[in-house]
Structure 1
Amino acid sequence: MSGVVYAQSLDSLFVTANKLYQQESYDEALSLYQEIENNNVESAALYYNMANIYYKTNQVAPSIYYYEKAIKLEPNNKDITFNLEFAKRMTLDNIEALPKSLGQKFRDGIILRFTYNTWAIIAVSLAFLFALLFLLYHFSYSTEKKRIYFITSILAVIFVSLSSFFALKNYQYQETTITAIIFALQTQVKSAPTNSSEVNFELHEGTKVFVLESLDNWRKIKIADGKTGWMKEADLREL
């Protein structure tokens, strides 16, 4: 099957799944969405619809998991953000997050505002703008216009540098930061990666954690309030 026909087949499948979703045939729609996902398709719309089905059928962990996957692809999508926050209300763990530093606020508010692909596109677009402004500056005979083109080209270079920097930092953060959602109804977080070790605290389905280390079938995790511990790999699913 050619790539074009293959893509059209998946698009047709997505349209059919959406119709079933609108008809509230959630099991059938979800089955088709999962078939699309199994073909290595990454789509915010796909994940969003899957999350909605899980939410409507009161499946806490999968709904939050797929909302989180959707928001990673479209961090400024208000519908996804709203539904994610709504789904989080179904979780049992009431974890008070540590205050963010200025650096963390800047990272979350600016660098992670767009995906690294979007920042890269912005950088390339600004680079083309700089090239155009440079040509206009070079071929312009008006002193006033030359000054305007020169100043705006310098600004374009500055913003190219900034957006490139943001793209790099965003990429590095995404590559080095592993998050996961608890899928077990209840799980124990231990002081060491052994069954006999002391229990530090317990977590419940739907809670988001940061994965710090891996050892065999254990994962060292950190939660929003800074607490850390080890839990079974089978009890969570990495995003």
Structure 2
Amino acid sequence: MFKSKVLKGLFYIALIAICTYSGSGMQLHAQTPDSLFTAANKLYQQEKYLEALQAYQKIEKQDLESASLYYNMANIYYRSNQVAPAIYYYEKALKLAPNDKDILFNLEFANRTILDNIEPLPRSLWQKFMNDVVLRFTYETWSKIAVSLAFVFAVLFLMYHFSYSTRKKRIYFVTSILSVIFVTTSLFFSYRNKHYVDRNTEAIVFSTEVEVKSAPTNSSDVYFELHEGTKVLILETLDNWKKIRIADGKMGWINAAAIKEI
């Protein structure tokens, strides 16, 4: 059964709205993002899904985002039997909240409705490490962890400097060295995470059925077919064609209009 976060994320939307307000003499719009989000959540609870979706879309058009916003939009699309947009917004929500169990559960549930049965390639040790550790948090989160650890190091260093006890000095020295190591590790994870995200553009197939070809031309041979909801990795762009790879390693060219980047 689907889980709904109709209230979670209101704080984040409100915070963004406050940050984007500029000028004390300027008047606010009739509906601010936080009031829209509240209204949309009420409509969602009343099962007025189409009206709720329209309200969520108004927030999205203001270039504001939150995991809960995308999550609720995905739930509405899924209830409307729109597989591709449902998976698309679950994936967008997951990028902002990689460890959210509700998003992971619903995304896995939605993926079962995809027609394409693709067996993923076995992951290497490095790929497992990337997925299980480096990509466990967003690069912004890793950066915040690094900053927090740097503050801890500063405190430990001061305690080491002003301590008169040899035993305490030894403890502060060791822990400060460890904190430096953790800071460096966190910064490395943040860099690798950002590098991975920038170089790995994913997309969802929105066409009901689309042919993947051997070359970026309509007359080229057809390698295989994909159906709506399938996730692909974009490798290259040429005019209105995208070279893509799917989870089992197969590659080919697809019309750009058939997919939507996450």
The TM-score range, normalised by the shorter chain, is over 0.9
Equivalences for 1:1-239 in 2 at 5 Å?
3=21, 5=28, 9-239=32-262
Identity of aligned residues (%): 66
* 1:98-134 C-alpha deviation (Å, 9 max, x unpaired): 0000000000000000000000000000000000000
Alpha-carbon separation, structure 2, partners of 1:23 and 1:213: 44
SS at match of 1:195: coil
Alpha-carbon separation, structure 1, partners of 2:256 and 2:64: 25
Write the letter of the residue equivalent to 2:211. Answer: Q
Q: Deviation at 1:67?
A: 0.2
SS at match of 1:124: helix
Q: Structure 1 length normalisation: TM-score? A: 0.98
Write the letter of the residue equivalent to 2:76. Answer: I
Alpha-carbon separation, structure 2, partners of 1:191 and 1:23: 49
Give 5+ residue unaligned stretches, structure 1.
none
Alpha-carbon separation, structure 2, partners of 1:137 and 1:229: 59
SS at match of 2:32: helix
Write the letter of the residue equivalent to 1:11. Answer: D
Corresponding pairs, count: 239
Write the letter of the residue equivalent to 1:136. Answer: M
Alpha-carbon separation, structure 1, partners of 2:100 and 2:45: 21
Give 5+ residue unaligned stretches, structure 2.
1-16, 23-27
SS at match of 2:34: helix
**Runs of 4+ more than 2 Å apart:** none
Q: Which residue of 1 aligns with 2:11?
A: none
Write the letter of the residue equivalent to 1:161. Answer: T
Alpha-carbon separation, structure 1, partners of 2:59 and 2:187: 33
Q: Deviation at 1:42?
A: 1.4
Q: Structure 2 length normalisation: TM-score? A: 0.89
Alpha-carbon separation, structure 2, partners of 1:15 and 1:218: 40
Alpha-carbon separation, structure 2, partners of 1:12 and 1:136: 48
Tell me how large the CA RMSD over aligned residues is: 1.4
